[in-house]
Structure 1
Amino acid sequence: MNLYPPYIVPLITVLVIVILAITIVSIMRQPIGFGNKLLWILIAVFLPLLGSAAYFVSYLLPNGIKGRSESR
């Protein structure tokens, strides 16, 4: 009962780690102020979107390709 194909999970985790690293670096570079708050709002909106998109894609792939071929 594996929902994810083996290549998707590391891909998603690498993407999330890279995005987090970029955002942390850009936060460290900025002085604390309005830009910092704006960046945190962007993170708070973007990360759940990325997570849900990743979950949606990983849900579509095995059911769309594997599921039909295995049911025959």
Structure 2
Amino acid sequence: MKNAIEENGHEFVTGESLGFGSGSALHSLYCCKQCGFVRRKDGQNKPCKGVVKVELRSKGFAAHSTDHIDSTTT
């Protein structure tokens, strides 16, 4: 792919080439095709950890649970 930058195992391409539209903040930035990191201008990103894995949380986990909040302190 043209305009790709390879550093620390990352393959950075423009957000535009990843499908971000001109209204997106990521449109003109360089993002890793594998892990999604946004490239630092100084090139000092941590090494790429590989392909991002996204999955649903377990059925019993309440993402927005308020059980831990003490109502007497609010």
Q: Same fold (TM over 0.5)?
A: no
Structure having the higher helix fraction is 1
The interval holding the TM-score normalised by the smaller chain is: under 0.3
Task: Provide TM-score, normalisation by structure 2.
Answer: 0.25
Choose between structure 1 and 2 for higher RCO, CA contacts under 8 A separated by at least 6 residues: 1
Structure having the higher strand fraction is 2
